[in-house]
Amino acid sequence: MLRIKGSRRAAATIGLGLSVALAMTACSGGGSDSEGAQDGTIEVWAHAGQAAESEALQALVKEFNSSQEDVTANLTLIPEADYTSTIQATSADELPEVMEMDAPTMAAFAYDRKLIPLDDVLASETLENRIQGVTESGTYKDQTYAVGMFDVGLGLWGNKALLEKAGIKDIPTTAEEAWTVEEFEENLAKLAKASPSGKAVDLGEANGFASEWGTFTTTPDIWSAGGTLLKDGKAEGVINSDENVDALTTWASWKEFADPNTSGSNFPEGKTALTWTGNWMYPTFSEALGEDLVLMPLPDFGNGTKAGHGSWQWGATPAAEGNEDAAGAFIDFLMTDDSITTMVEANAAVPGSTSALEQSELYGEGGPLEMFANNLESACSSDDVTAECIAVARPVTPGYPTVTSSFGSALQAIWGGADVKEELDGAARAIDSDFSDNNGYEDE
């Protein structure tokens, strides 16, 4: 591996004065410039998300380039809305040496041979220092194809003042204390009366349940009920199982208490008592509610509380073959504690390395978001969801785009009043048909 000088992080000034590139530049991928690869220049693609996150990444690339003389990383930021489709539309030989990807898309890119295994590319220290959630979501067919600087958590946020107004004194703060579904529903009725909006909870309806939001936020319900989406590459009898039908029937019944929240601000403005969302909202919620903000686990349907995880990750493409040292050095640099800390200070995400997590004021022991970190310690695959596991990765399969699209369409219809079993039966047929057409997404 190339040796990189020690990080010279300056957290107070990181990212200041940097602009965010909101459009894709016209540069070609590293695979089309063999001489550039030979002299240590690598191309890097990443999504342009929230400004603070993009600025932090730009600063880290600049720091990497100045920290040593062997490798120069050229960063291209692509708008998030176009990012995944851009990779899908780009042939493997036109991709950059290093690229970012959203966790659920990793298996599809590996299957399409747009990623190479990282087990012999990255330093052993990088691989051994990953938190369990990052390890789980970056592994496909027992090989590491991606590593993440951070991960995410999903929880139930509450307004303590409104909870107390509703007479709810037992507020769970750990997985072991999670409300049962029955307790949750009893509290929804109480909180609807106590909330100025007349509604108890924001489930994220405004984000659209047909989108990835729907899959990310409702799969914890079915996992907690003992169900899942796929088993051994099959959807029939799995996605439309009795457990899933019961769980989603219950979920749909919450609509009478759910705030559509088209403004996106009802919870921080104190109009709604609960909201079902992720760690990234902590800065906004904390500033608005202060000591009235409480973080709770999602309700327990019987198999223990569950939560989704999996966020943006880094991988190397076939363009890096023959130049793995350069690609590996860059990704290793991003996975150092200093780099991870710089990034999570910008986006409030869960640090992706064990050592950075332990040092985190938000997620470390006694921190306000420690529950998310504890959840990720027990991360597991959706193929084997146990009562002890809390954070569950969405199915790691090349067919995931069809799975989430079919499931999301069913969710949207169910929320609108359609029959739960019929919608899940339709999703099962669509998924199994796609898998059949693609030989079960098994390598030839």
pLDDT digits (tens, 9 = 90+) for 137-181: 999 999 999 999 999 999 999 999 999 999 999 999 999 999 999
Number of other CB atoms surrounding residue 439 within 10 Å: 9
Give the DSSP per-residue string, 84-117: HHHHHHS-GGGS-SEEEEEGGGHHHHHHTT--B-
141 CB-side CA count, 13 A = 15
| Residue 381 pLDDT level (bands cut at 50, 70, 90) | confident
Number of other CB atoms surrounding residue 367 within 10 Å: 14
CA dist 264 → 180, 204, 206, 218 (Å): 27, 9, 8, 19
For range 276-291, the mean pLDDT: 96
Least confident range of 60-74, 96-110, 373-387: 373-387
Q: Are 228 and 308 in contact (CB under 8 A)?
A: no
Q: Are 316 and 98 in contact (CB under 8 A)?
A: yes
On the 0-12 / 13-18 / 19+ scale of CB atoms within 10 A, 212 is middle
Residue 158 to residue 420: CA distance in whole angstroms: 29
Q: What is the pLDDT of residue 116?
A: 98
Considering the chain, what percentage of its residues have pLDDT values greater than 90? 87
Partnered with residue 234 across adjacent β-strands are 231
Among residues 269, 273, 270, 264, which one has the least CA distance to residue 296?
273
- The CA-based angle 15-350-164, given to 5 degrees, is 115
Q: What is the pLDDT of residue 378?
A: 87
| pLDDT per position as a tens digit, 25-52 | 333 334 434 333 345 899 999 999 889 9
Among residues 45, 12, 73, 26, which one has the least CA distance to residue 333?
73
167 CB-side CA count, 13 A = 6
| Res. 439: pLDDT tops 70 | yes
Least confident range of 22-36, 115-129, 196-210, 399-413: 22-36
| pLDDT per position as a tens digit, 179-214 | 999 999 999 999 999 999 999 999 999 999 999 999
Buried b (16+ CB within 10 A) or exposed e, 247-274: bbebbbebeebbbebeeeebbbebbbbb
Give the DSSP per-residue string, 243-282: HHHHHHHHHHHGGGGB---TTS-TTTTTSSSEEEEEGGGH
Alpha-helix residue ranges (DSSP H) falling in 266-369: 282-289, 324-334, 337-347, 354-359
Among residues 309, 311, 294, 278, which one has the least CA distance to residue 389?
309
Which secondary-structure segment (H or E) carries 165? Answer: helix 160-165
Tokens of 228: 């899942």
| Residue 18 pLDDT level (bands cut at 50, 70, 90) | very low
| Residue 369 pLDDT level (bands cut at 50, 70, 90) | very high
Q: What is the pLDDT of residue 401?
A: 94
| Res. 344: pLDDT tops 70 | yes
- pTM of this prediction? 0.87
For range 74-100, the mean pLDDT: 96
